[in-house]
Structure 1
Amino acid sequence: MHILDNLMLMFEFWIQTNWYVAFAMSLVTNLAVYFAFGYLISTITQRITKNNWLGEYIDKRPFKNGQQTSEIKNGITACVMFSLVSLLARELFVGVIPLSITQLLIEVSVFTLFYETYSYFVHKLLHTKQFRKPHSVHHYSVRTTPWSAYSVHPIEALLIGMSAPLFMLIFPVHLSVIFAFHILGVVFTLLIHSNLKLNSSNIFCQLFNRYTRSHTAHHSIGNVNFGFINSFWDLCFKTKYIESRVV
């Protein structure tokens, strides 16, 4: 209960404080999550693939010169953009915590549907001629690492970050739900860029491999697998990858 109470106090302070203090709090949070989980996933991936016993890299091509340094610099810029956009959420939320489990489930379900649709069509948009140059920042990382996850142009970071405020304009949602989705989304995005295939047949490993292989295919091939958490829109628009084409 103390942890929940402290989180509530932090949310209340963030809502009521000056915008530049709120921005600083958001930036520290984004950077902390990005670096903590990026380092953790990178370290675990390196150890798992050391002897190819527990897992192996999907794409084994060498990294480009200075790739990781460039990725981390771009990731920091993305965190700045996410923190700026978060200030809009201070004006649009309907409360801090949902009043019931039913309300929580409704908000989670509707936002999940919204984000999957939003992310697919924004991702498709980024592959059009008009946005190809900004999106090329992300596709510079052909062989991905967790740090590749937010190695994006500021325009792309803005589009990613705007998903929550746009949703909040059309559907009442509580701040804690948006915050939780953002943190989980960051971690999930880091994971699917890990380029890791686990050598196990259990259900968890199969699910993990499906996501990492799917996104590795996107970076390898380019015009497939635009979806974030499922293949619904990829199947509808015939952009789901053919596994045999994956490197």
Structure 2
Amino acid sequence: MAQAFAALSAVEVMAYGLLFFGGIYLVFGLATWTLTRHVLPALGIGRVLDPRALQPGQLRRELQQSGVSILIFGLGMIFPWGLLQLGWAQLAERTPGQVALEILALVIWNDVHFYINHRLLHTRPLRRFHLPHHRSVVTTPFSTYSFHPIEALMLGNVILLPMVVHDFSFWSLLSVPIFSLFFNCIGHANYDFFTRVSPMHWFAASRRHHLHHACYQGNYGFQFTFMDRLFRSVLPPDAAAAQIQQQSQARARRDAGSQAGGHAG
């Protein structure tokens, strides 16, 4: 497989990249949406984190922005392919155990890389490139790739540095966008899948990222908490409770007022 990938033309690499990223986005996004909107609530498993309604046109906006990100990620496959063509990186054959260790290392690196770039995107010079993603205050699985193009470029280069410092297996590198998107869909699902685990458990990532979108600052990590703990950016579990309750009550009063006005008419 490594030789086959290296032997592809530039156009083929970009075409396969577009199909790959578009395919996993739709599969994971639709699966997570179906699970959290229909299957799990019907089974009484888990709970919705933020009960507020989506913004008008939010899903359409998320899909449009995600389409641009998919274009960037797909065409961006030319860069790892280019490293191989230039001889700056090599793909190696590994045993299943070695592949597992490489994937573990890449999972940890992904969290470090995400945290660094995420914190940069919250600084004054770069925050305007992150605000399109934060327009989704109540998130959906389709918020996952809903980025400004600059943010997509920053987050999409995660495998380039590892490739030049170590000869990874093709399958190890292929796992990065798969587990990244999977965990990202979970994190943006606005659903608490494991209500009994502690807020710092890695199974509670959706809780932590829900708070990040609700509060904007804090909980900058990806799936794990070690970077947030190290840099003291962990949000308390109830950080958004008052805000959500206040807005939910205001909406209920507006709805009650509209119904009263309708009856009076």
Same fold (TM over 0.5): yes
Shift of 1:48: 3.8
CA distance, structure 2, for counterparts of residue 55 and residue 35 of structure 1: 23
Q: What do the CA deviations read for 1:3-47 (whole angstroms, capped 9, x no partner)? A: xxxxx3xx6444212211210111011101101111111011111
- Matched with 2:245 is none
Give CA deviations for 1:63-100 in whole Å, capped at 9, x if unaligned: 111100110111111111111222221224422542x2
2:111 corresponds to: 116
Match of 1:95 in 2: 91
Listed as ranges, the matches of 1:57-96 within 5 Å are 57-90=48-81, 91-92=83-84, 93-95=89-91
Name the CA distance, whole Å, in 2 between partners of 1:125 and 1:242.
22
CA distance in 2, matches of 1:135, 1:167: 25
What is the CA-CA distance between 1:124 and the residue it aligns to? 0.2
1:125 to 120, 124, 142: 120
2:140 is equivalent to residue 145 of structure 1? yes
Q: In the alignment, what sits opposite 1:4? A: none
Partner of 1:196: 191
Please give the alpha-carbon distance, in whole angstroms, between the structure 2 residues aligned to 1:239 and 1:200.
22
Q: Runs in 1 of length 4+ with deviation above 6 angstroms?
A: none
**C-alpha distance in 1 between matches for 2:78 and 2:173:** 13
DSSP 3-state at the match of 1:163: coil
Which segment is superposed worse, 52-61 or 187-196? 52-61
Give the superposition deviation at 1:57. 1.3
How far apart are residue 216 of structure 1 and its match? 0.1
* Distance apart, 1:123 and its partner CA: 0.5
Give SS of 2:114's match. Answer: helix
After superposition, residues 1-247 of structure 1 pair within 5 angstroms as 8=1, 12-48=3-39, 50=41, 53-90=44-81, 91-92=83-84, 93-95=89-91, 97-98=93-94, 100-198=95-193, 201=196, 208=203, 210-247=204-241
**TM-score normalised according to structure 1 size:** 0.86
SS in 2 for 1:73: helix
1-structure distance, mates of 2:131, 2:104: 32
The DSSP-based 3-state class of the residue aligned with 1:64 is: coil
Find the aligned partners of 2:181 and 2:169 in 1 and give their Cα distance: 19
- Unpaired runs of 5+ in structure 2? 242-265
TM-score (norm 2): 0.81
In 1, the alpha carbon distance for the partners of 2:126 and 2:6 equals: 34
CA distance in 1, matches of 2:192, 2:97: 37
Distance 1:215 1:150, change over 3 A: same
**1-side partners of 2:9 and 2:112: how far apart?**
34
CA distance in 2, matches of 1:57, 1:188: 17
- Counterpart code for 1:81: I
Partner SS for 1:173: coil
How many residues were matched structurally? Answer: 234
Q: Identical aligned pairs, as a percentage?
A: 26
* Matched residue SS, 2:47: strand
* Paired letter, 2:74: S
